Amino acid sequence: MRAYLAYLSKRLVQFAVVVFVGINITYLVTHMTPINPVEQSISAATTYGATSPEAIEMMRQSLRQLYGLEGTPWEQYVAFWKRVLVGDFGPSLSAFPTPVSQLILRALPWTVGLLLVSTLLTWILGNLLGGLAGYYRNSRILKAFGVLSMGIHPIPYYVVAFVLLIIFGFLWPVLPISGGATMASDRSNTFAFALDVVVHSILPVLSLMAVGIGGWFMGMRALVSNIVTEDYVVYAELAGVKRGKILRSYVMRNALGPQVTGLALQLGAIFNGAIITEQVFGYPGVGSLLISAVHAGDYSLVLGITTVSIVAVSATVLLIDLLYPLIDPRVEAR
Amino acid sequence: MIAELRSIPSSDVVKAPQAVPLLSVDGLKAYYKVKLFGIDREVRAVDDVSLKINRNEIYGLAGESSSGKTSLIKTIAGAIRPPLRVVEGSVRFAFKDGERDVYKLSPHELSAIRWSHLSYIMQGSMSVLNPVRRIKHAFADFALPHVSAKGGDFTSLVERHLKRLHLDPAVLQAYPHELSGGMRQRVTIALATICSPEFIIADEPTTALDVIVQKGVLSMIREIQQEFGSSVLFVTHDMAVHANLTDRLGIMYAGRLVEEGRTRDVFKRPLHPYTAHLISSLPRIGDEAPKKGLEGSPPSLADPPPGCRFHPRCPLAIDICRREAPPMVEILPGHRTACHVAQADPARVRPVA
Amino acid sequence: MSTLRILRDLLRYNGEFAVGLMLVLIVLAVAGCSFFSPYPPMDVYVVPPDVPPSWEYPLGTTSRGQDVFWQLTFAIRNTLLFGIVVAALSRVISLLVGLISGYKGGWVDRILMSINDTFVVVPLFPILVLFYFIMRDEMTWAMLAIITALLGWAYDARLIRSIAMSLRTREFTRQAVFSGMSTGKIVFQEHLPFVLPIVFSTTMNNINWSIGIEVTLSVLGFTDINTPTIGGMIYWANQHTAMVSGIWWWITFPILLVIMLFIGLFLLAISMNEYIDPRSRLSRLGGQA
């Protein structure tokens, strides 16, 4: 138990470091330009209609604090952090006066749902098939699948999403290509609504899976090929333990550890892919929100999403790290 | 370790060879065939080996690192994979419930005899146990299919077995990395013997262990052999261990068996120059003469010398040794050798130093 | 083994390497054609727009009056250039961090790895988007390349570090240290041959990654759209609703070419990885490791 607590505290420290450095990078980036984004944003937002002077002042106030224009550089930095820690990014400029946090919260479930489903499916399926491919080296089906998945894997998310969009949008329009659910649908009937959501998520999920699965497949296959030559597997085979049991308890169990670590490492990249995939399919998650915020010049929203992304991804990685000892009992001894 | 020949107990008389040996290896040839960037290569790991092991006997197999010992025992256990293939010969067991020809069995039949009739103690105790599962699962995985007791009965069976071998049953709850190397080796031996197999193959079980632990492991093996009446095929390059433990001894060189006989006979009166050298290199109390190493190194198994494989390094080599491979011939009762010189005149075989 | 011999063996026995090399060479050839282009890259309406692929215009023309083929040569050249520059810059950082971390060990290693892991975990795309947001029109390709390199070194640094760590403890290193070789000499003479293959394969992967970033950012219109790049071509095609209008050749050919590049580089990377690992090499020859 003591070993686990030591491990836990190490991971928590790493989490804090990651979030701290990440948000600092964000802060640094925002200060790279000589132009003043505050005035720019305000003028962009106010050209579209009459906004009351109090509203403009409130915007300006929060933007100045977020950007860090008030006071000395140190005070700016502190003011920035104060706001970030509370999660108060002020009002969104493009959807004034809705606070940024509210917009993010509205979009977040969509992204989380998409990511959760596609990541889990990809990871499980990829590892399963890769493990089988590593063990049953002569299976032609597995070899074919390997070639296919590894062929798609290097292609960036955007291209795959776009190709799927073309196929299902123009050539064979059987699946919806935009939106999280049908517009103006009746959300009271939960089952019908849930089904609608699922149907709308098929293409984005498929897109993410197509790119991701090759990576897990390849990694797992290589891992399993190596593990199969390890003494404890050879010994179990010598003892006549059934193939199925060896595959499950001896081979896969030992290969899972590195793959879980791999998942933690890939999460940032998967998130990036989700952003662009949402954009292509008009999926109402945090990704689409980010892109439209950039187009609208909504500084506070962009900053808010960036910060939340950093924290969310780091927190998920922390969670995965904490679950790791359950899979590999040796980690306590390290 | 100082060589001490144990005195032959009177029970030796009881251990006379029986009608049907437990293991019969006849003319076994197993080669590696590799294609390396366009070059075909054939490595003759096991080249025409014939031997018999009886019931209730500890048979030692000695030889240098590349002598083919490990390939031989893997072939005997039916545990070889391509590119290593059996080219000729047979391996037959005469178990209590029937004969088995290892290379004529179906995979299902082969795994049925594993562990219950034939078990294996592998080299390198460090990593033969699944690192992510507790020891008790290893016992369940390996032994449960062969044993009628299930559930709680099985657990008691395992615990009793452990206690009999002076191991604390608490070890079942541990993970392999939580135990020391010596402990792991003893657990592995307990694992290999839980089904009271008739034949146990032990591949260098004491290498990489310090002398004290070695002693414990060896006495464990001896106890098991005596209590269960199993036969043990014990492989090690350490001649002193052979002297202490085995009933009969076989010497391997370059994929061939060059000498075989009762351990005592082989030590007192080696009939092959290579054996003579191995034995003379053991330090003895009071012997201060400097030891001379053998010149040269073991031949490559891909391209062995013609005739007798030992002839380039043999001080007694004569012309025929370069041309014809000597057959394995029984020169004295129960004592075979493959050497032209010994077959002509056994008295000429002397240690090198 | 000499480099030439290694290449010959790879070509002969490793199908992936051969295919990968062929794809990359095709792409390079197309990029090379850009030097013979009759039209300056940024000019528009130099040919009749929206002409489907024909004898005169083999890949068709765009809605902006550009020849798709010649535009593509510039696009792939610029995109490739971007990828190579980013990969080169980030190699420097990866090597520095990886080697120092691997050799020094101790607290230096721990601090560097902590920072390294930060860059691995943090999602880089939002930061790049933020960067564009701040810089807007001030952002040049050079700046984008630099900041992408500054963000993309982390994953590879870890790989280099593990190689450095294993080399440090090997016998021949100890011998070299013992015989009084300076650290610099050890690193460059003894260890570099081991580190180079992994640097090669990570470079391929890094180029893929950075080109992916370029394509994605350009498609969103977040880069200097007037310089022709693959992502830029797709952006303009989208602006002119090429798919809906039926001008499929404007989008298809850039996508095809860039997919060839991605797969080609990827194949090179994994075949190099396999070559390094002796076990996988052995299993290819019909044996089992």
C-alpha distances out from residue B175 to A130, B162, B183, Å: 27, 16, 12
More confident residue, C103 or A292: A292
| Distance, CA of B155 to CA of C196 (rounded, Å) | 54
Model confidence pLDDT, tens digit, residues B220-273: 888 888 888 889 999 988 888 888 889 999 999 888 888 999 999 888 888 888
What pLDDT does residue A123 have? 94
Chosen from A238, A247, A324, A332 to mutate, greatest number of chain B CBs within 10 A:
A238
For residue C29, the enclosing domain spans 2-284
What total of structural domains would you count in chain B? 2
More confident residue, A93 or C289: A93
B35 and B114 share one domain: yes
- The residue type found at A50 is A
Helix (H) or strand (E) holding B16: none
B61: left (phi over 0), alpha (psi -120 to 50) or beta: beta
DSSP type of residue A169: I
State yes or no: pLDDT of C169 exceeds 80. Answer: no
What pLDDT does residue A7 have? 83
Say if C289 falls within a structural domain.
Answer: no
Would you call C123 and A310 a contact, using CB atoms and an 8 Å cutoff? yes
| Distance, CA of B73 to CA of B120 (rounded, Å) | 9
- The residue type found at A332 is E
- What pTM did the predictor assign? 0.80
B83 and B216 share one domain: yes
Model confidence pLDDT, tens digit, residues C4-14: 676 777 777 77
Q: Measured between CB atoms, does A250 come within 8 Å of chain B?
A: yes
What pLDDT does residue C207 have? 92
What pLDDT does residue C121 have? 87
Calculate what percentage of chain C has a pLDDT beyond 70.
90
Q: Measured between CB atoms, does C281 come within 8 Å of chain B?
A: no
B321 and B178 share one domain: no
Mean pLDDT of C229-238: 88
Model confidence pLDDT, tens digit, residues A210-219: 999 999 999 8
B97 and B174 share one domain: yes
- The residue type found at A141 is I
Model confidence pLDDT, tens digit, residues B289-338: 666 666 677 787 777 888 888 888 888 888 888 888 888 888 888 888 88
What pLDDT does residue B249 have? 92
Chosen from A235, A252, A254, A331 to mutate, greatest number of chain B CBs within 10 A:
A235
Q: What is the CATH number of the domain that holds B82?
A: 3.40.50.300
Mean pLDDT of B195-200: 89
Q: Are A296 and A93 in contact (CB under 8 A)?
A: yes
What pLDDT does residue A117 have? 92
For residue B273, the enclosing domain spans 256-282+296-348
What pLDDT does residue B238 have? 85
Q: What is the token pair recorded at A60?
A: 């300006």
Would you call B130 and A249 a contact, using CB atoms and an 8 Å cutoff? yes
B206 and B268 share one domain: no
Confidence of residue A120 (pLDDT cuts 50, 70, 90): very high
B242 and B176 share one domain: yes
Among A40-49, A103-112, B324-333, C269-278, the range scoring the smallest mean pLDDT is A40-49
State yes or no: pLDDT of B3 exceeds 50. Answer: no
State yes or no: pLDDT of A221 exceeds 80. Answer: yes
Mean pLDDT of the residues in chain C: 82
B123 and B186 share one domain: yes
What pLDDT does residue B332 have? 85
What pLDDT does residue C171 have? 65
Q: Measured between CB atoms, does B199 come within 8 Å of chain A?
A: no
Q: What is the token pair recorded at C287?
A: 């044996």
Using CB atoms, pick whichever of A154, A291, A314 lies closest to residue C208: A154
Q: What is the CATH number of the domain that holds C167?
A: 1.10.3720.10
What pLDDT does residue B353 have? 40
Say if C122 falls within a structural domain.
Answer: yes
Burial B296-309 (b: 16+ CB within 10 A, else e): eebbebeebbebbb
More confident residue, B37 or A166: A166
> CATH fold of A109-295, please?
MetI-like fold (1.10.3720)
State yes or no: pLDDT of A126 exceeds 90. Answer: yes
What pLDDT does residue C262 have? 92
State yes or no: pLDDT of C152 exceeds 50. Answer: yes
B200 and B276 share one domain: no
Q: Are A288 and A107 in contact (CB under 8 A)?
A: yes
State yes or no: pLDDT of A68 exceeds 90. Answer: no
Q: In what order do the strands lie in the sheet with B98-101?
A: B39-53, B23-36, B84-95, B98-101
State yes or no: pLDDT of A37 exceeds 70. Answer: no
Residues 6+ positions from A28 with CB-CB distance below 8 Å:
none
Mean pLDDT of the residues in chain A: 83
Give the residue on B whose Cα is nearest the Cα of A243. Answer: B111
Give the ipTM of the model, two decimals please: 0.82
Mean pLDDT of A19-34: 80
Say if B290 falls within a structural domain.
Answer: no
B340 and B193 share one domain: no
Mean pLDDT of A160-189: 76
Say if B8 falls within a structural domain.
Answer: no
* Domain ranges, ordered by start, for chain A: 109-295
Calculate what percentage of chain A has a pLDDT beyond 90.
20
Would you call A159 and C215 a contact, using CB atoms and an 8 Å cutoff? yes
Residue of C95, C208, C91 lying closest to C149 (CA atoms) = C91
CB-CB neighbors (< 8 A) of C211 in chain A: 156
Mean pLDDT of C58-70: 83
B229 and B324 share one domain: no
CA A73 to chain centre: 33
Would you call A14 and C117 a contact, using CB atoms and an 8 Å cutoff? yes
Burial class (CB in 10 A: 0-12, 13-18, 19+), B16: exposed
What total of structural domains would you count in chain C? 1
Model confidence pLDDT, tens digit, residues B198-228: 899 988 888 777 888 888 888 888 888 888 8
CB-CB neighbors (< 8 A) of A241 in chain B: 141-142
Angle at the Cα of A305 (from C240 to A107), degrees rounded to 5? 75
B310 and B230 share one domain: no
Among A80-94, B102-116, C65-79, C267-281, the range scoring the smallest mean pLDDT is C267-281
What pLDDT does residue B12 have? 43
What pLDDT does residue A95 have? 72
Calculate what percentage of chain A has a pLDDT beyond 70.
87
State yes or no: pLDDT of B11 exceeds 50. Answer: no
Would you call A291 and C129 a contact, using CB atoms and an 8 Å cutoff? yes
Would you call A317 and C123 a contact, using CB atoms and an 8 Å cutoff? no
Q: Are B339 and B349 in contact (CB under 8 A)?
A: yes
What pLDDT does residue C103 have? 79
Q: Measured between CB atoms, does A14 come within 8 Å of chain C?
A: yes
Chosen from A135, A155, A233 to mutate, greatest number of chain C CBs within 10 A:
A155
Q: Where are the beta strands (DSSP E) in chain B?
A: 23-36, 39-53, 58-62, 84-95, 98-101, 118-121, 199-203, 231-235, 248-253, 256-262, 329-332, 335-337
Which string of DSSP letters, residue by residue, matches C152-195? S-HHHHHHHHHHHHHHHTSHHHHHHHHTT--HHHIIIIIIHHHH
Q: Where are the beta strands (DSSP E) in B63-172?
A: 84-95, 98-101, 118-121
C-alpha distances out from residue C89 to A233, C93, C145, C149, C210, Å: 43, 7, 9, 6, 11
Interface of C with A in 128-167 (CB under 8 A): 129-136, 138, 155
What pLDDT does residue C288 have? 37
Say if C81 falls within a structural domain.
Answer: yes
